[in-house]
Structure 1
Amino acid sequence: MFGAFFAAVLPVLFIRFGVRRGRWADRHVGVRRQRLLVMVFIIASVTTGTLLMGALGAPPPMIALVAAMVATLVVLLAITVAWKVSVHAAVSSGSVAILALAYGPWALAASPLVALVGWSRVRLRDHTTGQVLAGSALGALVAAGTFALLR
């Protein structure tokens, strides 16, 4: 519950609040400069959730899962300072990579979903193909690497 609250609920509420107040254009926060503040908030929120999970004795794989999200967001934030990389592609590829580590290679059968997410980001003109490919590669590498080290 802590992981979901700090990694999803609080960030969504923060984004909705910002959209209502006119701080960002939409829920996707497509303007790179606006993304920086949102990403910093999400990193702080997820880090708080991770620390609370550790303090309250959550199972190590759960802590590793949420910590993988923090690590991925930190890398994406560093890149977003100079270039708009696809967070959606990173999250989807990181999720599939972690599922494969946790449950075995059969989970890689979900990989077409990563391609579908990437296609949608390009089709919506929110990202270029290069931004989607970079996000996909970074998401899988950082999330899987962090999860493998911490679980």
Structure 2
Amino acid sequence: MTAEATSTSPTRADAPDPRWRLARAVSDVFSPTLVMPVTQLLVALAVSPTTTSALKWAGLTALFTAVIPYAFVLAGVRLGRLSDRNLRARNQRLIPVLFGLLTSLVGLAVVHHLGAPREVVAVTVAPIASIPAFLLVNTLWTKLSIHTGCMVGSVVVLTILFGPLVLAVGAVLLTLTGWSRVRLQHHTLGQVLLGGVVGGAITAATYLLMT
């Protein structure tokens, strides 16, 4: 479990295997940058009195927790300061992660000040709460999968809101996400499983305490 996953993965030209291409697509679709905004939108739709207000809260939370941090990473790649948008190089993760933490805190302050429903505030805080744990483990021990951590956290939150049927769908999506990370050699199986446990536990505890 403590072994680092291979830091490089095949390019499309080097890996004609359709399963690799499927894994790449699954990894992109179920990245935290997309999973978090979708989760925030579903939560906002469930607890807001109108669709307009739900879109407002979802847009604000997504802007500060996903869009701005991801734009920062893409700018770093374009400027040559970061090797890739997945931050596979361990020594390049600290600044982007801290920047994402800062913008998320700003977003939390904004939605709280504007009077967002407590569930919206909670789903904004939950990813923030897990960042220190992931950063600490990734720095001192092994590279936890943020993909599976985010996916498990989202399934937990949506199950609390919409009921156990979410678990059936979530289990399939989580399995696909974990498989894709291992297939692309971005993580070992142990890193995928541990990332899910850490992300899910912190997200569940944070969300339940705040709602």
TM-score norm. by structure 1 comes to 0.96
Matched, 1:118 2:169: no
State the one-letter code of the partner of 2:91.
R
**How far apart, in 2, do the equivalents of 1:101 and 1:121 lie?**
26
Deviation per CA, 1:15-62, whole angstroms, max 9, x where unpaired?
100000111111101111211211111111111101111111111000
Matched, 1:84 2:146: no
Q: Quote the residue 2:125 is aligned against.
A: 67
Matched, 1:26 2:84: yes
Name which one, 1 or 2, has greater alpha-carbon Rg. Answer: 2
5+ residue gaps, structure 1: none
Say which SS state the counterpart of residue 81 (structure 1) adopts: helix
Residue pair 1:89, 1:114 contacting (<8 A) in 2 also: yes
Q: Quote the residue 2:102 is aligned against.
A: 44
Residue pair 1:90, 1:139 contacting (<8 A) in 2 also: yes
Moved over 2 A (4+): none
Using CA pairs under 8 Å that are at least 6 residues apart, name the structure with larger relative contact order, 1 or 2.
Answer: 2
1:74: Cα distance to partner?
A: 2.0
Q: Quote the residue 2:160 is aligned against.
A: 101
Deviation per CA, 1:82-129, whole angstroms, max 9, x where unpaired?
121111111111111111111111111122211111110110001111
Say which SS state the counterpart of residue 70 (structure 2) adopts: helix
**How far apart, in 2, do the equivalents of 1:36 and 1:95 lie?**
24
RMSD: 0.9
Structure 1 residues 49-60: aligned runs within 5 Å: 49-60=107-118
1:72: Cα distance to partner?
A: 1.4
Structure with greater helix share of residues: 1
Q: Quote the residue 1:17 is aligned against.
A: 75
Q: Quote the residue 2:207 is aligned against.
A: 147
**How far apart, in 2, do the equivalents of 1:135 and 1:12 lie?**
20
**Equivalenced residues, count:** 151
Residue pair 1:101, 1:144 contacting (<8 A) in 2 also: no
